[in-house]
C-alpha cells in the first residue's frame, strides 16, 4: 500500500481501511501499523493535530471510535505514538529530505510483506520514484538479506519487523548497527537460521535421527518467530511471578514456550495449527 504524506488523517484512514480490514486477526495489526507509518511520514505536529481535529469533528470519542472503527485502546496507543514522534520537517525542506524515497520504499516493502504479495522492479520504481536502474541494484545488494527473487518478481521478508529508522540503517548498509539495536531483528534472524537448520538436518542423507533433529530446531525457530511478533506488538512474553516481576531461570527471564505462544496468538481458538504444534511438541 502506498501512503501519501499529503493525506489528512481522515483520508489516510479511508485508504488504509480499504487495504486492511479493521479488527481482522492479521489485517487489524497491519492496519494499525500502517496508521503509525503515516504518522512517521508526516511528522509529530501534523499527525497529532490531524488526529485531534478528527476527534473534534466527531464530537465525542464514542463517535470517533465508530467512525474510524477503532477501539479506545488503539486510539490511546496511536495518540501516544504520534506524541512520541520527532518534530516533522517543514514542508519546504521535506522535498530535499535525502530519506524521502527511502521512506517510500519502506512503506512499499512492509505493505507487500504483510499482504504476502510479490512485486516487480517496475512496481518498486513507481512507488518510490526511483529510476528502474536504481531499483534493480537494491534487491541484490543493500536488501539482499531480506529479498527473494521468484522468476521476474520479488518477495520481501523481515522489513515488517523493522522500524523506519532501522530500515534506513539497512539501506545505508549499516547492517551490524541495525542488528545490535533491534531485538526483533535478532529474533527474526534466529528464527530463520533454526528453520534452515531444521530443513538441512532433515534433508541430510547421513543423519540417522533426522526427524528428531528437525522437530527440535523447528520448535526453536517457531518460538523465536512468535517472540519477534510479540516484540513488534509490545507484548511481554515472559512469565511473571505473583508480584508481577519476570521469573528468572538460570539468570535469565523465563520466556513463553511455543505452545503458550500459540495459545496467546490464536487466543485458545482451537485452531488446527495449535493441535499440530502440540502434537509436534
pLDDT of the residue at 175: 44
* 189-233 pLDDT tens trace: 889 889 998 998 888 888 888 899 999 999 999 999 999 898 888
Phi, psi angles (nearest 5°) of residue 240: -115, 150
Has residue 32 been placed in a domain?
Answer: yes
Has residue 162 been placed in a domain?
Answer: yes
pLDDT of the residue at 223: 94
Cα atoms in the Cβ-side hemisphere of radius 13 Å centred on 48: 13
Classify the C-alpha dihedral 56-22-186-118 as positive or negative: negative
Has residue 4 been placed in a domain?
Answer: no
Range of the domain at 149: 98-179
Has residue 61 been placed in a domain?
Answer: yes
Q: Where residue 171 sits, what CATH number does that domain have?
A: 1.10.10
Nearest to 161 by CA among 248, 259, 83, 234: 234
Could you give the number of structural domains in the chain? 3
Domain's final residue, options 179, 196, 223:
179
Has residue 2 been placed in a domain?
Answer: no
Q: Is the pLDDT of residue 176 over 50?
A: no
* 35-82 pLDDT tens trace: 888 888 888 888 888 888 888 889 888 999 899 988 888 888 888 888
Contact (Cβ atoms closer than 8 angstroms) between residue 124 and residue 105? yes
Amino acid at each position: 500500500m502506498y501512503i501519501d504524506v499529503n493525506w489528512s488523517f481522515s483520508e489516510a484512514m479511508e485508504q488504509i481501511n480499504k487495504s486492511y480490514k479493521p479488527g481482522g486477526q492479521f489485517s487489524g495489526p497491519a492496519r494499525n501499523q500502517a496508521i503509525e507509518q503515516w504518522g512517521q511520514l508526516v511528522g509529530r505536529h501534523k499527525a497529532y493535530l490531524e488526529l485531534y481535529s478528527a476527534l473534534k469533528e466527531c464530537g465525542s470519542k464514542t463517535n470517533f471510535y465508530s467512525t474510524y472503527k477503532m477501539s479506545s485502546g488503539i486510539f490511546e496507543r496511536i495518540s501516544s505514538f504520534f506524541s512520541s514522534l520527532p518534530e516533522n520537517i517543514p514542508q519546504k525542506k521535506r522535498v530535499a529530505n535525502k530519506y524521502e524515497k527511502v521512506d517510500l520504499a519502506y512503506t512499499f516493502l512492509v505493505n507487500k510483506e504483510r499482504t504476502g504479495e510479490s512485486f516487480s522492479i517496475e512496481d518498486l520504481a513507481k512507488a518510490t520514484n526511483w529510476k528502474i536502474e536504481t531499483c534493480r541494484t537494491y534487491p541484490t545488494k543493500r536488501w539482499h538479506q531480506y529479498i527473494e527473487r521468484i522468476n521476474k518478481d520479488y518477495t520481501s521478508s523481515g522489513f515488517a519487523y523493522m522500524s523506519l529508522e532501522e530500515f534506513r540503517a539497512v539501506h545505508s548498509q549499516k547492517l551490524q548497527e541495525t542488528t545490535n539495536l533491534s531485538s526483533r531483528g535478532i529474533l527474526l534472524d534466529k528464527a530463520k537460521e533454526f528453520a534452515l537448520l531444521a530443513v538441512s538436518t532433515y534433508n541430510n542423507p547421513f543423519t540417522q535421527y533426522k526427524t528428531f533433529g528437525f522437530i527440535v530446531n523447528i520448535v526453536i525457530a517457531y518460538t523465536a518467530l512468535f517472540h519477534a511478533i510479540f516484540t513488534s506488538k509490545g507484548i511481554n512474553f515472559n512469565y511473571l511471578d505473583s508480584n508481577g516481576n519476570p521469573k528468572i531461570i538460570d539468570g535469565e527471564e523465563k520466556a513463553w514456550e511455543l505452545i503458550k505462544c500459540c495459545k496467546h496468538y490464536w487466543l485458545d481458538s482451537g485452531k488446527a495449527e495449535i493441535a499440530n504444534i502440540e502434537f509436534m511438541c
